[in-house]
Homo-oligomer: A and B are copies of this chain.
Amino acid sequence: MSNPAYERLVQRHLRMHRLGHLQSIAAWDQSAFMPPKGNDARAAALAEVGGLLHEMGTAPELKTWLDEAAAEPLSDFERDSLREMRRAWDARNALPPSLVEAISLATSHCEHAWRTQRPANDWSGFLPNLKEVVRLQREMASRLSEAQGLSKYDALLDRYEPGMRSADIDRVFGDLRQWLPSLIQRVMVKQSTEAVLRPEGPFPKSAQRELGLAAMQLMGFDFEAGRLDESAHPFCGGVPEDVRMTTRYREDDCLPALMGVIHETGHGRYEQNLPREWLGLPVAEARSMGIHESQSLSFEMQLGSHPGFARQLAPLLQRHLGAQPAFEADNLHQLLTRVKPGYIRVDADEVTYPAHVILRYEIERALIEGEIECEDIPALWHAKMTELLGLSTEGNYTNGCMQDVHWSAGLFGYFPCYTLGAMYAAQWFATMRREMPDLDDRIARGDLIPVFDWLKAKVWSQGSRRSTPELVQRASGEPLNPAHFRAHLEARYL
């Protein structure tokens, strides 16, 4: 064995991967199937394996092996792999255990209280909890910032989108901010003259489930390596070898579950197609939140809003839910591209969604850098909602600045990834069109293989070998370019 330290690192990571497998499956079961009285024992079991994995991942010998391996004659691949091992080690070891503990307590407390404070519109009850969370996030950001030589906010952002900096985001979101509000206005005017039929329910759960499975089939999901079940909050979990997707159903509407399933299938296929030969090593993991979201949005939005794709979905809806005029392909396409500014981010359409993200990004960046305080949030929220979407949130905390769980949970630096994902997705399809001029005809014919093959070659099979900017450059031949997202929205919605 020529690289003994690197080999030891590999064995340790494979062992952690195997224990992590049990953690992932038990966490999935907790959301999808576990009866309520099982929860205490499950929480204790998950905490036990979590603690064990943390112990294994912060063991001092790991640091020694990382340093020794750096001096070994590694191949290019092994060097990339080692970089990701060190990145994972840094992330686990950057913070003192007392701070990790304090953050965990503060976020649990804040999130738990938020569950009742949000529906009660109780900003003043929420504020002190949020201030404590933000205080600790600032402390974490300071420590990470010193260790990595990044700005405070960038140090948080780097946890979710490695290599991405707020200067880059300012550039692309700054561009977006220029044209988005007027684009929304123009789309609204155009759509105001269009008559769109709403699907008439009820739609039984079991039929919606069959429809979802048919859509997953259409999107190439491998059912021998994964499942679809139900949970209160849809997610894509499990392990790359066995992907566990969930959705939820509303009997009065069939499109939320359908498009939710298509979205999660994008995440699921990314996981199912991560590089098998390296599986268990950090370098085999999905690259970042933004890149993951670029896959779900490639499926849900790039394909979902494609007029040719509606022609593939229409017969599935008719087969599983019965024929009705709303399920004709043209009407379905109109339903899937309907734009309407609203208060709630998770309910937003493709065109107004970035406005919700820009607003959050601007506030959380300023908050972490110490330019504003928590008390300033409601006024800023109202001002930015008015400016970007023409909606007032004065006095409305429930559907304003208290609507998301992210800040309560300490997820600062996460929001931008949603819109970065949408932009990456637009850039992937722009590149595909350049390389395959007949792409849109193929999609309209139901031939989605070229799309999947491209994503597999350029994104899925790459794991974490490259940083996010490098992955983008290699896949599309240029850095992240918001012009593609703009062109996509204008082509689809105007």
Contacts and interface: CB of A to CB of B under 8 A. Distances in A.
A373 interface: no
A45 B21 contact: yes
Interface string A12-50: 000100110111011001000111111011101111110
Interface stretch (A224-232, A402-410, A476-484): A224-232
Nearest to A34: B242
A35 B242 CA distance: 7
A52 B16 CA distance: 12
A447 interface: no
A36 B241 CA distance: 10
B38 A242 contact: yes
A278 interface: no
A44 B22 CA distance: 10
B222 A37 contact: yes
Nearest to A238: B38
A239 interface: yes
Contacts of A52: 19
A227 B32 CA distance: 12
A279 to B, nearest CB: 8
Copies of the protein in its oligomer: 2
A36 B225 CA distance: 7
A25 B19 contact: no
Contacts of A227: 33, 35
B35 A49 contact: no
Interface residues of A, number: 34
A344 to B, nearest CB: 32
Contacts of A35: 223-227, 242
A19 B49 contact: yes
Nearest to A229: B33
B41 A21 contact: yes
Interface in A186-239: 222-227, 239
B239 A41 contact: yes
A184 to B, nearest CB: 42
Interface in A107-139: none
A43 to B, nearest CB: 10
18 contacts: A18-B41, A18-B47, A19-B45, A19-B52, A22-B22, A22-B49, A25-B25, A25-B26, A25-B42, A35-B225, A35-B227, A38-B225, A38-B226, A38-B242, A40-B241, A41-B241, A41-B242, A42-B242
Given A21-B41, A29-B29, A38-B241, 14 more contacts: A15-B48, A18-B47, A18-B48, A18-B49, A19-B52, A22-B26, A25-B26, A25-B42, A26-B26, A35-B223, A35-B225, A35-B242, A41-B239, A42-B242
Interface of A: 15, 18-19, 21-23, 25-26, 29, 33-38, 40-42, 44-49, 52, 222-227, 239, 241-242
